[in-house]
Structure 1
Amino acid sequence: MSAIRSSPSSPPTPSSPSTPSPPSTSSVPSSSSSASAAAEPRVGVVVITRNRRERLLGTLDRLAALPERPPVAVVDNGSTDGTARAVRDRHPQVRLLTPRRNLGAVGRNVGAAALHTPYVAFADDDSWWEPGALDRAAALFDGHPRLGLIAAAVRVGREGRPDPLNEVLAASPLGRASDLPGPSVLGFLACAAVVRREAFLGAGGFDRVLHFGGEEELLALELATRGWGLAHCPQVIAWHDPDPGPRAGRSARMLRNELLTAWMRRPLPRAASRTWSLLRACPRDPEARDALAGAVRRLPAAVSRRRVVPPWVEHGVRILEGGRSQRERRTAHSPQERRTANDEPDAGRPPESAAPCPSPAAPPPEPPPLNPSPHPHPHPHLNPSPPAGGAADERPSRTSIAALHTLRATSTEAGGELP
Structure 2
Amino acid sequence: MDLTVIIVNWNTKQLLLDCLQTVEENRQSSTRQINVCVVDNGSTDGSVSAVREAFPDVQVQETGKNLGFAGGNNVALRVTQSTYCLLLNSDTLLPPGVLQTLVRFMDESPQTAVCSPLLLNADGSPQFCWARFQTIATELSGELDRSQSPYPLALFADPNYRFTMTSFAADWVGGACFMVRRA
- Establish whether TM, by shorter chain, passes 0.5: yes
1:61 aligns with 2:47: no
Instruction: Spell out the pairing of 1:328-367 with structure 2 (5 A cutoff).
Output: none
* SS of residue in 1 equivalent to 2:118: strand
Query: Which one of the candidate residues 147, 155, 158 is aligned to 1:172?
Result: 158
Gaps of 5+ in 2: 132-153
State the Cα RMSD in Å: 2.5
Return the offset for 1:160: 2.8
Gaps of 5+ in 1: 1-40, 176-180, 199-419
Return the offset for 1:82: 1.5
Instruction: Spell out the pairing of 1:240-255 with structure 2 (5 A cutoff).
Output: none
**How many Å separate the matches in 2 of 1:183 and 1:86?**
39
Who wins on radius of gyration, i.e. which is larger? 1
Instruction: Spell out the pairing of 1:28-47 with structure 2 (5 A cutoff).
Output: 42-47=2-7
Query: Which residue matches 1:413?
Result: none
1:78 aligns with 2:42: yes
Instruction: Spell out the pairing of 1:233-382 with structure 2 (5 A cutoff).
Output: none
* SS of residue in 1 equivalent to 2:51: helix
More helix by proportion, 1 or 2? 1
Query: Which residue matches 1:190?
Result: 175
Deviation string 1:254-280 (CA, Å, 9 cap, x unpaired) is xxxxxxxxxxxxxxxxxxxxxxxxxxx
- Residue identity in the other structure for 2:37: A
* SS of residue in 2 equivalent to 1:84: helix
Q: 1 or 2 for the larger relative contact order (CA 8 Å, sep ≥6)?
A: 2
**How many Å separate the matches in 2 of 1:152 and 1:143?**
15
Q: How many residues align?
A: 150
Would the alpha carbon gap of residues 114 and 129 (structure 1) be closer, same or farther in structure 2, given more than 3 Å must change? Answer: farther
Return the offset for 1:135: 1.4
Deviation string 1:40-74 (CA, Å, 9 cap, x unpaired) is x6222100110111111111112111122731100
Query: Which residue matches 2:141?
Result: none
- Residue identity in the other structure for 2:72: G
1:121 aligns with 2:86: yes
Return the offset for 1:161: 2.5
Return the offset for 1:165: 3.9
* SS of residue in 2 equivalent to 1:109: helix
- 8 Å Cα contact 1:43/1:119 also seen in 2: yes
Deviation string 1:335-377 (CA, Å, 9 cap, x unpaired) is xxxxxxxxxxxxxxxxxxxxxxxxxxxxxxxxxxxxxxxxxxx
1:102 aligns with 2:62: no
Give me the TM-score of the superposition, normalised by structure 2.
0.72
**How many Å separate the matches in 1 of 2:93 and 2:36?**
11
Would the alpha carbon gap of residues 103 and 166 (structure 1) be closer, same or farther in structure 2, given more than 3 Å must change? Answer: closer
**How many Å separate the matches in 2 of 1:155 and 1:48?**
20
**How many Å separate the matches in 1 of 2:114 and 2:130?**
16
Give me the TM-score of the superposition, normalised by structure 1.
0.33
- 8 Å Cα contact 1:174/1:183 also seen in 2: no
